[in-house]
Amino acid sequence: MPAVQWFPGHMNAARRKLAETLAAVDVLIEVTDARLPGASSNPMIESLRRFRNRPCLKLLNKADLADPVATAAWMAFYNAQPGVRALAISARKAGDVARIPPAAQQLAPHRDDGIKPLRMILTGIPNVGKSTLMNALLKRRVAKVGDEPAVTKGQQTLDLGPGMTLTDTPGLMWPKIEHDADGFMLAASHAIGRNAVIDEEVAARLGDILLQRYPALLAARYRIETAGLDGDALLEIVARRRGCVQKGGTLDLEKAANVLLTDYRSGILGRISLETPESRARMLAAAETQQEPAGISSGDNA
């Protein structure tokens, strides 16, 4: 199966602009998807941040959809890194959003003198909730919000409050997704444009993870026995349970894939995380020894 790749042309310009702007800010705020914080963290952004020696406020957004045990592990992982602070948030909750400016201020104490503003830049891959967060921080609609990746196309800098400015940036992928597991997790979580993937393949690999990590949630949602199933078999059962049948009685697996993907993305299935720090470390170690499993490899119970 071909690896998932997606790097629209406008992202080249966005990458160059980010590199320029980062030189003039104090704190980089990176929004990730709490269900897959490692896979949804852009290594290109991290490289630029380290080059400029800027602190990072790592936001694990959509934490209300993620497994709280896995989220706690990710919080500990990131908060142990120098120059990094992590917050688990939902951009739709005002109380969570209110925690962000003070946390950013703590990362740049030299900007707490009332003379020069704290300059922040908001970054992240497409469709992790960055525009929703930008609007929530400013308490007005300034960024276009959509349920498709790459809605925002240009930068804008706005006053966040007394002594604070915030630059919003387009969702930015990196040119080559190195690990198949990351590509499929990103596609399952709708961070990659649909024209770059086949929903049936993505859903089958999502099913493999869910069968290993959250079989009880699948059993409860679709009223099925999960023992012995793989992702492909799960799609067939979902098709039957949900009446995804074409003329002549053939199962409509594309429609069933959309059912499973929508149930996961919306949180209907329950609170789910597709990776943990431990499972990601194992996947990366396997890749280094050229033993990376095909497809999604982080669906264990770590």
How far apart CA 254 and CA 228 sit, in angstroms, is 22
Segment 26-63, tens digit of pLDDT: 999 999 999 999 999 999 889 889 988 999 999 999 99
Q: Can you tell me whether residue 17 is helix, strand or coil?
A: helix
How far apart CA 176 and CA 148 sit, in angstroms, is 20
The predicted model gives 198-216 an average pLDDT of 96
pTM of the model: 0.86
Average pLDDT over the chain, rounded to whole? 87
Fill in the amino acid letter for 179.
H
Check pLDDT > 50 for residue 2: no
For 177: left if phi > 0, alpha if psi spans -120 to 50, otherwise beta; the answer is beta
User: What is the set of domains in the chain, with CATH numbers?
Assistant: 10-168 (3.40.50.300), 198-288 (1.10.1580.10)
Does residue 85 or residue 145 have the better pLDDT? 85
End-to-end CA distance of the chain: 26
Fill in the amino acid letter for 172.
L
